[in-house]
Structure 1
Amino acid sequence: MATEESASVMDDYEMLISTTDVELLKRAWRNEKAAPEILQFESSLVQRIKEQIELAEQNEEIFEANNIEPLTVSLYQMDLDRTQFLLRSYLRVRLQKIEKYLFYVLKTDEYLNRLSKQEQMFARRCTDDLGSHLDETVLAKLPDNYRSILKQSITSEEDDMGTRSSLNLFYFSFFFMCLNIIAIYYVCL
């Protein structure tokens, strides 16, 4: 039994080592897109990917200067573009979630700690900008009891205007091969 466990641990370790940073980024991107809430920021992975992108750009310039075959340079550029797309998309999904659940993320320490420093600054700037915009356009024209961005009225005991991600929403998809139709059903529990 001990040998089976050690073999399983060794297989997991070998799989982890063989996984490239691009594959890890792809997994983080998929997880972030599929999760209803914002996940922990993968800071070390993002930093490594940025360094690899810089190195790849330098290598591409060297390839072009040394008259390497254009097909090789083109394939190298395609791989670089794919990596840049994954990184941008990962960061874009995170920013969209921050914007969608802005007040809740800033109010909850658990979610705020999942953000990078830059994302925290972005969230605070968005809150400040949205607050000043709403103050100038809408809230100044409302009665005093309704001039809060976070509460529906002064009588509200807690902040009830910020939306939060629904963790009770499940997505079920059914594939009908004969009809070539994909149906997605939303079920709230």
Structure 2
Amino acid sequence: MDSGLGEGSSGYSTMDDYESLISTTDAELLKRAWRNEKAAPQILRYEAALVQRSREQIKLMEETVEEFTSSGVDPLTVSLYQMDLDRTLFLLRSYLRVRLQKIEKYMFHIRKTTELWNHLSRAEQNFAERCIEDMEQHMQQSVLSKLPSSYKSHLKQSSSSEEDDMVPEPKLDTYVICRSKKFLGAFQLDDRQFLSIQCHLLSWRMNSFIFLMSMNFWTVLKTLLTLKLMIYTLYLISL
């Protein structure tokens, strides 16, 4: 097995260099951030530097397209610049929209979880706080004010509940399909925390798809992101 991995690594070296070069562009980084955010059940850390660079590039491209249009540059050239601009706008808007959808759905869970709250940008935190205030006010005026005192909480089913059992939380018992961005060879997944992972020793070849199951998806997700792997799609299950 060791010899086979050695031969494979030399065969993939040239393609790995090309993939590494392509994957470092902001467009590809933004696409990866969007896909990972869309696939992950919990909200990921806000890519502040990447978003700022993307906004600056969008502003520069808009100025370039406007200048080319006014100066009579070939329409085909202008359309290519416009296409690149539209693609970047789509990726950025989609990335931010997915994050806002998660905040709206899991606002109470995110607010009480320090780690997730720190994943938000300052603007997203303000948005979450306004959503929470509006939801609390709406629930109080339309429903809770008409219920007995023991059922007036929007977080608990009753005053006897010990936990916030009415707060929606993302499902973390998840099947994951991921694709390796480069040749990594054999990799031992960390199971010291007694994670129920079906396949512990994986041979990560470039563009190979791996199917995993974990009882604690969040731990596995952070491991995959550390390895710079692309999360392609998720299948939620009930265990």
Same fold (TM over 0.5): yes
Matched ranges for 1:74-93 at <5 A: 74-93=79-98
Letter in 1 for 2:57: Q
Q: SS where residue 170 of structure 1 aligns?
A: strand
Q: Is the 8 A contact 1:170 1:188 kept in 2?
A: no
Q: CA deviation at 1:17?
A: 7.8
Matched residue type, 1:125: R
Aligned pair 1:46/2:51, yes or no?
yes
Q: Superposition pairs for residues 136-147 of structure 1, below 5 Å?
A: 136-147=141-152
The 1-side partners of 2:161 and 2:235 are apart by 35
Alignment equivalent of 1:23, drawn from 19, 28, 35: 28
Unaligned 5+ segments in structure 2 are 1-8, 178-233
Alpha-carbon distance between aligned partners in 2 of 1:185 and 1:46, rounded to the nearest angstrom: 28
Task: Please tell me whether the aligned partners of residues 38 and 94 of structure 1 are also in contact (alpha carbons under 8 angstroms).
Answer: yes
Partner of 1:100: 105
Give the 3 Å change call, closer, same or farther, for CA 117–186 of structure 1 in structure 2.
closer
Could you tell me which residue of structure 1 aligns to residue 74 of structure 2?
Answer: 69
1:107 partner letter: K
1:170 to 160, 169, 175: 175
Structure 1 segments, 4+ long, off by >4 Å, are none
The structural deviation recorded for 1:171 is 5.6
Q: Does 1:188 align with 2:188?
A: no
Deviations 1:117-159 (A, max 9, x none): 1111111100000110111111111111111111111122222
TM (norm. structure 2) is 0.66
Structure with the larger RCO, 1 or 2 (CA within 8 Å, 6+ apart): 2
SS of the aligned residue for 2:175 comes to: strand
Partner of 1:57: 62
- TM-score, scaled relative to structure 1: 0.83
Q: SS of the counterpart of 1:125?
A: helix
> Can you give the 5+ residue segments of structure 1 that lack an aligned partner in the other structure?
173-183
Q: In 2, Cα distance between the equivalents of 1:91 and 1:32?
A: 9
Identity score, percent: 62
Question: What amino acid is the match of 2:136?
Answer: G
SS of 1:150 mapped into structure 2: coil
Deviations 1:75-102 (A, max 9, x none): 1111101110000000011111111111
Cα distance, 1:18 vs. partner?
A: 6.0
Structure 1 residues 18 and 88, CA gap change in structure 2 (3 angstroms) = closer
Q: Structure 1 residue 188: deviation in Å?
A: 3.1
Residues 20 and 47 of structure 1: is their aligned pair in 2 closer, same or farther, counting only changes over 3 Å? same
Deviations 1:4-46 (A, max 9, x none): 9xxx8xx67x926862101000000010111111111100000
